[in-house]
Structure 1
């Protein structure tokens, strides 16, 4: 027969004394430590986001392909428009791809805007090692 105590609530488990070690108090938590860890995590995520934005994203340098023409076995001509800071310059990476998606050529071109102008339209030839299917602008970044 098991031993029952009047101070134990009905339905609560009864453990033999000394058998399972010391039980923890259920109310002991560290909210300050948890808040500090969350703050450090958010700060680290903010630093990573800022680094990635500076490295890969600059909304002042946008390029859009107008057309790609002059497709031969060794080249494609890409017409594109670049949005720049007024009077600024950018280095744009152009790429030509074959029908199966393989890159068959790439080149960098420096684009300069007229003083006070925010846009520059450029036509540039991309030399290729095989017949291209498409010409595209991968990215533009500040020249330098």
Structure 2
């Protein structure tokens, strides 16, 4: 892959705008129509496509939480092990107040919500009903054949 192709691919990854990316990588091209056609060709280039796909996968892995990470986070909140930063307002008199940031563990409501979400994930709240059939079921064909 050439340096200009890499510049194009890196610019393309910013906003997925091929025309804009092509005009940055190839500044001599001024017309949008020419840039759009050539960007489309570059996006079909195997090396460029592979590079873009690898970068997208890397970005996805870095930015997206997987199921295990979500479960671990909810568990830490439920157990009161996480810390959040909140704004606290303090009244100092004469209608004046000041704010400060404080760190606090999750309150009871937050812990309960985390427990609820974990319970849903593990199907702890599924209603279970046991139905016993004491007679042999009879199926009736009430659709019949209406040929005409």
TM-score (norm 2): 0.27
Q: Which has the higher helix share?
A: 2
Q: Which has the higher strand share?
A: 1
Higher relative contact order (Cα pairs below 8 Å, separated by 6+ residues): 1
